[in-house]
Amino acid sequence: MRDLRGQGLSFRQIEAELHGQLNLFPEAGGLLLQLPVRLSPFEQALLYHESEDSRATDAYQNAIGEGDSVADAYCNLGILEFEAGNIPGAFDRFTQSLRHAPRHFESHYNLANLYFEQEDLRLARLHYELASEIEPNFPDIHFNLGLVHSLSGNFQEAVRAFEKAREFASGEDAAKITSLLENLRNALQKK
């Protein structure tokens, strides 16, 4: 009988070998094979994008040409255009995304944010509302809608939007929204 404890084997491995069972994964002699990973064109583009690789733009164009996640590819191209400071290009890409998928949440949300930054509150509100129909539990949409309503002077709608944002927010965000609501209500009572 051989001594198995000196080989770094666990109690279970020792007990199994004593009962005539072989170790399925021996300590030495095993091979680790690297299998090729096949990413879709969109997945490859996303990988480039996440690692800030300049090939992301061409890869998203390739994904669009291949018909792979077309709306997502256009949306992510819009984000790249925005990051490059090309606001008209970002608008164009987000609307192209919506042409392919009219209920594409991220494109509506990103368009709403762009319109908000451009101070077009009517179109910002429209796209936030459309996005909220698609993803009604996303607190940022309701918070941003509250901001739009506040800036438009529609304070009762702002309160409702902030309350909804608080309902879906968690932790520190919910506490901040509660504080904002208290301040807004106090200001409305003083009027």
Both 87 and 115 in a single domain? no
Higher pLDDT, 39 or 21: 39
Q: Is residue 27 part of a domain?
A: no
Percent with pLDDT over 70 in the chain: 82
Looking at the structure, do residues 88 and 123 belong to the same domain, yes or no? no
Task: Give the per-residue pLDDT at 37.
Answer: 80
Q: How far apart are CA 153 and CA 167, in angstroms?
A: 23
- 94 and 108 housed in the same domain: no
Q: How many domains does the chain divide into?
A: 2
Tell whether 98 and 108 lie within a shared domain.
no
In a domain, 81, yes or no: yes
Q: Domain check: are 62 and 110 in the same one?
A: no
Q: Is the pTM of this model over 0.85?
A: no
Domain that holds residue 158: 104-191
Verify that 91 and 141 share a domain, yes or no: no
The most confident of the ranges 7-11, 18-22, 107-111 is 107-111
Instruction: Answer with the residue of higher pLDDT: 64 or 185.
Output: 64
Q: Among 75, 102, 129, give the residue marking a domain's end.
A: 102
Sign of the C-alpha dihedral, residues 176, 177, 181, 184? positive
pLDDT at site 4: 46
Does pLDDT of 48 surpass 60? yes
Provide the pLDDT for residue 34: 73
Q: CA separation (Å) from 14 to 20, 26, 94?
A: 10, 12, 62
Q: Which of 53, 81, 102 is the last residue of a domain?
A: 102
In a domain, 140, yes or no: yes
pLDDT level of residue 10 (50, 70, 90 thresholds): low
